Amino acid sequence: MKKLASEFARHPTSESSSRIALDRGLPDRQPALPYSRPFGILGKPRQLETARQSVTFVSTYPPTRCGIATFTRALMAAIATERRSSVGLNVVSLVDSRIHRSAPEVTYQHLNGNDASRKLALDAIQTADIVVFQHEFGIYGGADGEEILDMITLLQIPSVVVLHTVPANPTMNQRRILETLAKESSKLIVLSQSALNQLLLRYEVDPAKVTVVSHGAITSAGRRHDASESSQLLTWGLIGPGKGLETAIDAVAQLKDIQPRPRYLIQGGTHPKVRESIGTGYLDGLVERAHGLDLDDVVEFDNRYVALDSLNATIRRSDIVVLPYDSTEQVTSGVLVEALAAGKPVVATEFPHAVEMLSAGAGIVVPSGDSNAMAAALRRMITSPREMETMRRAAERLASKLDWASVASSYEVIFRDLARGQIGAADPHGSSPSAQLQSSLARTS
């Protein structure tokens, strides 16, 4: 595929710094968090303090190429900034095989599916005051990641579980896992109002335990669209079936009459797990699709994993972010949050998080898989600079609530409440989950 001589292509990134995945749009080249607190007696519960609780995060973690890994590192960095210290912030990382060079804040690497490793991981976890589990079914060992239950049920310290996935139609085992996590944890965090609604409507969960804390983002103002220049469309993230990029490419093919012609950058490589199972066939098929539609000079594929500064520069240079996902159940999208935090109008398929976030006017939602509707939405934005500017301003109004600093503050409130024994206390944002749910249902009825 020919590289575009476009605004995007004039700003190359360093191949040597291309290490971390972009599916969440989170920091890549970020200083390691210093670790200086020595381990205490393994397994011995600590006396909680209300000032600065030590926290261990159980999660995938860089260099693992995973959205949750980059989410966890960005969250820890934000909390460290809030505290003006990274002391007491540590990680038990989830791995499928040992990583020889782990970050200094990683106190233990848990080998998924290994009983002996799980026992040592539990010992490492319990040297902290509080543990935060990042949860997605695919990152823990066992069927549907059920190994997390063997950890949380044996804890002697308060636990927070961050739910990155809340299936609308779970299997019996997925339901069992989520409801057990809800029962055993001290606090549940979901990343959107959509996730909260789904969790409380479809699962047996104590509403007092649940709170909404947004996925964080780096806020940065980008360029304003100049109608005399080509509109720059952007999708980024790890690539695999379900991304819906076929729909976006077909939509762009319908914009050939617009001059200057819009350009579309698809940034990100094949997801590692997809590569293991089917190779690069999906991405290769997208390249062939674009070629067959005579879009070689319109659609650019950049499969590098670029550093934070390069990613942010690319986002700032874009005019419209396109999220063509096939899923109609996605309740959390880090890319959506990153786009809005950068003040970018969004065209997205109608997954729940997009419907929720774009209802304030920061973009347009279209039916999943409908390239005609997507083309119409893109045409509407590109040919109406005034409307695009209105959407950009709506996105900027949302940005202040999505900043990592605000997210870190919300987590610190939760940690302090747990330290004081106020488990199930009021939501840091000021309303209880039950009240949030009732308000949301009232708005949609």
Q: Please give the residue that has the higher pLDDT: either 72 or 270.
A: 72
Query: What is the Cα–Cα distance from 23 to 271, expressed in whole angstroms?
Result: 9
22 falls within a domain: no
Q: Is the pLDDT of residue 88 over 70?
A: yes
Count the residues in the chain.
445
Q: Is the pLDDT of residue 305 over 80?
A: no
Read off the pLDDT of each residue in 253-261 and give the average, rounded to a whole number. Answer: 95
Task: Give me the CATH number covering residue 395.
Answer: 3.40.50.2000
Residues 150 and 296 in one domain: no
pLDDT digits (tens, 9 = 90+) for 387-426: 999 999 999 999 888 999 999 999 999 999 999 886 544 3
Beta bridge partners of 161: 133, 188
Mean pLDDT value across the chain: 84
Residues 264 and 173 in one domain: no
Domain end: 182, 212, 242, which one? 212
Query: What is the Cα–Cα distance from 90 to 76, expressed in whole angstroms?
Result: 8
Residues 160 and 274 in one domain: no
pLDDT digits (tens, 9 = 90+) for 260-272: 999 999 998 887 7
Query: What is the Cα–Cα distance from 307 to 43, expressed in whole angstroms?
Result: 38
Residues 67 and 178 in one domain: yes
Residues 186 and 37 in one domain: yes
Q: Is the pLDDT of residue 429 over 60?
A: no
430 falls within a domain: no
Amino acid at 333: S
User: What is the reported pLDDT for 375?
Assistant: 98
| Residue 254: strand, helix, or coil | coil
* Residue-range definition of the domain harbouring residue 315: 232-402
5 falls within a domain: no
Please give the tally of structural domains in the chain. 2
Name the band, by pLDDT with cuts 50, 70 and 90, for residue 227.
low
2 falls within a domain: no
Residues 352 and 391 in one domain: yes
Rounded to whole angstroms, what are the CA distances from 174 to 154, 200, 287, 331?
A: 20, 15, 36, 16
Q: Sheet with 210-212: list strands edge to edge.
A: 106-111, 89-95, 55-59, 130-135, 159-163, 187-190, 210-212
User: What is the reported pLDDT for 224?
Assistant: 62
Neighbours of 138 (CB within 10 A): 11
Query: What is the Cα–Cα distance from 110 to 95, expressed in whole angstroms?
Result: 6
440 falls within a domain: no
Read off the pLDDT of each residue in 238-254 and give the average, rounded to a whole number. Answer: 95
Residues 250 and 295 in one domain: yes
225 falls within a domain: no
Residues 101 and 140 in one domain: yes
Q: Is the pLDDT of residue 199 over 70?
A: yes
User: What is the reported pLDDT for 223?
Assistant: 59
Q: What is the pTM of this model?
A: 0.79
Residues 122 and 191 in one domain: yes
